[in-house]
Amino acid sequence: MTLLEEFLVAVMAATSLDESLVLFLKATALSQWVVSTPWVWPLCETLHFIGLTLVVGIIGPLDIRLLGFMKNVPVAALKTLVPWAVAGFVINLVTGVIFLAAAPEQYIRNLSWWFKVLFLMIAGVNVLLFETTQRSRMLAMGPGEDTPAAFKLIGGVSLVSWGMVLYWGRMLPFLGNAF
Amino acid sequence: MMELLQALEGSAFSIWVREAPTVWAYPTVLTLHTAGLAVLVGVNAAFDVRLLGFGRQIPLAEMERFFPAMWVGFWLNAITGAMLFAIDPITKGTTTIFMIKLAFIAAGVILIVMLRRAVYGRGREAATVTSAARAFAVLSLLVWVGAIATGRLMAYV
């Protein structure tokens, strides 16, 4: 962990990516507003937790169905609740950008944050793969049917990657430098 | 009461969770508390929105299986919550906002029991969405928002 962290810091210093990005974000009006308004941060934290709750509560059961459990519930039926998870994700994207703008050095120089971003990307690619390659197969599936291997793989990757997003998010202050 | 809180704060267990220089102590307990919250409130919220008219294609009878998941989340958080209280009992035991959070959680848990009774009281196959069940669903969503908000505010007292 420390070695990886040193590597990250060295790469950032060599490319001067972190200097320019931190300075740019701190100069934004959004950043200055959040820093000077004490209630914004706790409000955004609360919203961020509500958003994560929606993602886990809607996507979790869907992943479990994709893994082959709860066979009497059609996959397509569970998918009709996904807009709630998307709403949760958008809340977290917006509040996440607010955190990043307000305290960029806490995240950009934090290995836990990069792991979180990595798993967000894995989760995103996984959703895109499902929607582009498995959609017609999903709509054709009736209740009581077992899921094909591709569904199980995508459900498993989703469950693990969202779990990792939550884990690395929570680890920001402990395995990194946040707060 | 204060003697009890002081004894707890000075206990070996409390000191270990609070001060052990390992991610397996405080950070892990806190992460599990967040995961438990997501499962308890998230699965409950999914059930609530189903009662409020979204995702009607999901067979209501099958959704009774959401309840054991809520209880797993609840017990995980009861245990990790007791540990988090044990490391900081004097502050938490004397903070109004923490008492409000506990009241929200109690209401949320009672509502889980009432939701299940209202929907599945006449058996799984006779599951129906009554207006009482819908009212419980709205209350449940509001109460969990309150619990999350007061829980987050604990970090600022």
Q: Which residues of B touch A175 (CB under 8 A)?
A: 23, 27
Q: Complex ipTM above 0.85?
A: yes
**Nearest residue to B81 via CA among B104, B50, B111, B52:** B104
- The overall average pLDDT reported for chain A is 91
Q: Which residues of B touch A50 (CB under 8 A)?
A: 145, 148
Mean pLDDT calculated for residue range B144-157:
93
Q: Which residues of A touch B27 (CB under 8 A)?
A: 170-171, 174-175
- Partner-chain contact B42 A56, CB within 8 Å: yes
Q: Where are the domains of chain A?
A: 29-170
- Partner-chain contact A58 B46, CB within 8 Å: yes
Can you give the pLDDT at residue B81?
96
Of the pLDDT bands very low, low, confident and very high (cuts 50, 70, 90), residue B15 is: confident
**Least CB–CB distance from A56: residue in B31, B38, B152:** B38
Q: Which residues of B touch A1 (CB under 8 A)?
A: none
Mean pLDDT calculated for residue range B138-148:
98
In tens, the pLDDT along B58-93 reads 999 999 999 999 999 999 999 999 999 999 999 998
Which residues of chain A have a pLDDT value below 50?
none
Distance of residue A31 Cα from the nearest chain B Cα, in angstroms? 21
pLDDT at residue B125 tops 90: no
Mean pLDDT calculated for residue range B91-113:
96
The DSSP symbol for B155 reads G
pTM of structure: 0.91
Q: Which residue of A40, A41, A44, A49 is the best one to mutate when testing the B interface, meaning the one whose CB has the most B CBs within 10 A?
A: A49
**Which long-range contacts link A115-120 to residues 24+ away (Cβ below 8 Å)?**
A115/A164, A115/A168, A116/A164, A116/A165, A116/A168, A116/A169, A116/A172, A119/A161, A119/A162, A119/A164, A119/A165, A119/A168, A120/A161, A120/A165
Q: Where are the domains of chain B?
A: 2-156
Mean pLDDT calculated for residue range B111-123:
96
- The overall average pLDDT reported for chain B is 94
- Partner-chain contact A143 B59, CB within 8 Å: yes
Can you give the pLDDT at residue A1?
56
**Least CB–CB distance from A42: residue in B39, B42, B152:** B152
Can you give the pLDDT at residue A78?
95
- Distances in whole angstroms, Cα of residue A121 to Cα of each of A66, A86, A126, A162: 20, 15, 8, 10
A133, A175 contact by CB (below 8 A): no
Q: Which residues of A touch B156 (CB under 8 A)?
A: 42
Can you give the pLDDT at residue B45?
98
Chain A contacts to B (CB-CB under 8 A):
42, 45-46, 49-50, 52-58, 60-61, 70, 72-74, 76-78, 80-81, 84, 143, 163, 166-167, 170-171, 174-175
In tens, the pLDDT along B31-66 reads 999 999 999 999 999 999 999 999 999 999 999 999
Can you give the pLDDT at residue A16?
66
- Partner-chain contact A72 B35, CB within 8 Å: no
- Partner-chain contact A45 B35, CB within 8 Å: no
